[in-house]
Structure formats: C-alpha cells, structure tokens
Amino acid sequence: MPQADTAERLQKVLAAAGLGSRRACEDLIFRRRVTVNGRVAKLGDKVDPANAEIRVDGQRVITDTKLMYIALNKPRGVVSSLDDEKGRSELADFLAQFPQRLHHVGRLDADSEGLLLLTNDGELTNRLTHPRYETSKTYLAEVTNGPLARNVGRQLLSGVELEDGPARVDAFKLVGALGKSAQVELVLHEGRKHIVRRMMEAVGHPVTRLIRTSVGPIRLGNLRPGGFRHLSNAEVAALYKAAGDEGPAGESRESVESADEDD
C-alpha cells in the first residue's frame, strides 16, 4: 500500500504523465484499461507515483518524476566514459547540466558517433544491454575499397568469422556509392567490441565513419552532434517492450548484469 503522504489519486498521476486530462484518465480507469502492480485499477484508487507499476493497455506508464530518459547524439571524439583517464572529452561534459546522475546504455567508441541513450532507470538499462533481449541497433557506415561486390550483403547476412567467433547482421542495405567510397546501413543486435568495424574489415571494406542511427524503436532523427532530447512516455514504453517487457502476465523481473557494447 502507498504511504499516505506520497499517495495521489490515480487519474491525477496519469494526467501528470501525459495520458490526457483527468477526466480522460478517469475514463481509462472506468474502462478497466489501467492496472496498478498487476491489478485492474478502479476509480478512487490512490498510488505512489515513485513506486507503483502502472500500465495502460499493458504498456508501462512512467510516473516516477525522478527517472530521466535522454537521447543524445554523441559527437565523434567523445568517449563513453564518465571519468576518462586519458583526459579526453567525455560524457560527463554533457551530463553536468542534468540534476539526476545518469548513465549511458551501452557504449560507442570514441571514433563512432550517433545515438546514445542516457538514463537513471537501472531496470531498463539491464534489459537493453543484456544479450537475452537482443535489442537491435542500426548503423550507417562509410566504407572504403569500393565499389562493393554484390555478395557483400549475403556474406554479412550469413555470417563472417571473427577472432572471437562468427557474427552476422540482421539486415544490410547499400545506401549510396561514389568512387571507392560507399555508405551502407547495417542492423544487428550483437554487442561485442567494435563489432561493426570488424565485420566490415572482414569483408574487405574498412569503416571510415560510423554513426548509430537507432536503438530499438528510438531513432536519432535530426539531432545535431552534442544535442539531446527527452524521450516521450510512449518511447519509453516502446523501449521496455523491445527489451522483453511482456506485461504483468509474462514479465520477468530477474536481475541481470549489464553487458558493455563498444561499436
């Protein structure tokens, strides 16, 4: 049961989370579309927004105002570290503006750029970085030694042998080509170190520039390098779904260790 001094009416909490007016949220509750901690909610319920697990139509609603979810366009040359021993530009330079202590979800190496998710939601971080949930990532890579042979895509889809075992992409597309340079798009869910660069090297086309354009359902869009935006509640719910959140009946709450990825 929520503590008396932290409990608020459910419709007020839903409205504050962006689900609509209080009247509209009352209608959601009346239509039995809202659950609290796995139980169908009813009008008059009170909840602690910092601790209750609230869902609408099975999708999570983030009501804890202390939780933050940020999409950052990490510039090239910035290391995915909060304390770089070599004194290079680091994520801490970008995070100082936020009141909460945030951590990065996975990694991008210093020479890579693009979408990096930042949050203080430990459960979501564990899910997104654990190999079990196979969260897909999309990359745009500029490569050399073109033009690309027609079988490069088939090689990457069927798998290439690396020093730490075989690896394959989930999807591959040639975006454009000019002389000996080409742009390719790759989708994969692996998180091994420098996996994209090593795969492209293995098929004879070293990467000269690498941009991550999406993580699961979240896209980089037109964020400028160093720019950021807050994720919407719908985007957070979509991330949970992509990371294996199946709702009250099928949800797993096991604790998992984060697996670093370094592309």
In 109-254, the DSSP E strands lie at 112-119, 137-143, 160-162, 165-167, 171-178, 181-188, 207-215, 218-219, 228-230
Please give the backbone phi and psi of residue 106, each rounded to the nearest 5 degrees, phi first: 75, -165
DSSP classification of residue 67:
-
DSSP H or E run through 88: none
Q: Which residues are known catalytic residues?
A: 109
SS3 content of the chain, % helix, strand, coil (to 5): 20, 30, 50
Q: How far is CA 26 from CA 8, 9, 38, in A?
A: 14, 10, 18
Q: Beta 112-119 vs 160-162: how paired, if at all?
A: unpaired
User: What tokens does 87 get?
Assistant: 């004194």
